[in-house]
Amino acid sequence: MYRSKITGTGHYVPDNVVTNDDLSELMDTSDAWIQERTGIKERRWVAKGSDDTTSKMGTEAARMAIQNAGLKPGDIDFIIFATLSPDYYFPGPGVQVQENLGIKEIGALDVRNQCSGFVYALSVGDQFIKTGMYKNILVIGSELHSGGLDKTTRGRGVSVIFGDGAGAVVLQRSEKENTGILTSHLHAEGKHAKELALLGPNTAHWVDAIIAENDPDDLSYYPHMNGNFVFKHAVTRFQEVIHEALQSTGLKTSDIDLLIPHQANLRISQYIQQKMGLPPEKVFNNIMKYGNTTAASIPIALSEAVQENRLKEGDLLCLAAFGSGFTWASSLIRW
């Protein structure tokens, strides 16, 4: 059977650095609160007037991944794009990347699984490669959160956490045994859908109603998060889904060479690392620099881990994510 191997990684973040002190000029918050609760020191927010969008950042990350894989855009035969912040309500950004890269009429699929979006997308690409349908798949996670955040004290529980950026990988067919993606595990629990969600606009509350009501106190257009509730579920689900992947492959926690958790909160990553008995150097974190970039966080972290030579051939890489839906997922990869 064919195996799916990540042969190129890339990322792109906007230039504009927003520090915690910058935020305390917009709202009642502090560098001490943000660092203590989340570990975040700064994040990137697309600057006003910049032409960066979710699809454009995804395209830049993809260009880097394609180049690092030693391929040309024309070698790509399928695109999978994960995001919760597409440029448009429709069409999704997959088709925009296809156009931006000048690739002729290949398929482009959009994945809507929020923080777990990249791991879900990777598993979809893996299936297409295993069946022999495609050889070189571009898998992208990209988010532009900053344009849709409530940057007043009212929104501080959410807005200080999220950042903008994009990451991408090239997933290629390999015929080598025991290499690439070993296993993927996907879960969802829709009963908690509204604990971390952006509900407006929606098809039951469409443009004419919004204009007629013109209600400045309608907060449904801003992301809502029940932070404590999400935190408690995250620390449980991350561990469960990593153990599930290990069990299904007969591997042990000590076999993991690098864990890249979705960058939701440094405290969550540290808690998982300690509970699983992993040494800190085996867990990759960059939330300090970028905040939570949702579907982009794992591919940005993976691209940086590769740049820092944190992975060598044969290493066991574990990706794990949890977020809105709730959805959670893991993947074990023999590098």
- Residues that are catalytic: 115, 262, 292
Q: Which is nearer to ligand UT7, 4 or 29 (CB)?
A: 29
The answer to whether residues 148 and 85 touch, using CB atoms and an 8 Å cutoff, is: yes
Q: Which is nearer to ligand UT7, 58 or 323 (CB)?
A: 323
Q: Which is nearer to ligand UT7, 4 or 116 (CB)?
A: 116
Output the residue with the shortest Cβ distance to ligand UT7.
227
- 15-38 b/e (C-beta count within 10 Å ≥ 16 → b): ebbbebeebbeeeebebeebeebb
Part in contact with ligand UT7 (CB under 6 A); list of ranges 71-79, 129-137, 183-191, 229-237: 229-237
Task: Give the span between the Cα atoms of 285 and 319, in whole angstroms.
Answer: 12
Q: Which is nearer to ligand UT7, 68 or 146 (CB)?
A: 146
Part in contact with ligand UT7 (CB under 6 A); list of ranges 73-81, 98-106, 143-151, 155-163: 155-163
Minimal distance, residue 180 CB to ligand UT7, in Å: 27
Q: Which residues lie closer than 8 Å to 167 by C-beta, 6 or more apart?
A: 9, 10, 11, 12, 61, 118, 140, 141, 142, 296, 297, 298, 299, 300, 301, 302, 303
| Contact letters for ligand UT7, residues 238-277 (x by CB under 6 A) | --------------------------xx--x---------
Strands (E), the chain: 3-12, 17-19, 42-44, 78-82, 107-111, 136-143, 165-174, 180-188, 196-197, 224-225, 258-261, 316-323, 327-334
16 token code pair = 């504009």
Q: Is 29 in the site for ligand UT7 (CB under 6 A)?
A: yes
Q: Is 62 in the site for ligand UT7 (CB under 6 A)?
A: no
List 35, 63, 150, 157, residue binding ligand UT7 (CB under 6 A) = 157
8-state DSSP, 292: B
| Contact letters for ligand UT7, residues 280-319 (x by CB under 6 A) | ------------x---------------------------
Omega into 91 within 30° of 0, i.e. cis? yes
Minimal distance, residue 59 CB to ligand UT7, in Å: 24
Residue ranges in contact with ligand UT7 by CB under 6 A: 29, 33-34, 37-38, 115, 156-157, 160-161, 227-228, 230-231, 234, 264-265, 268, 292, 322-323
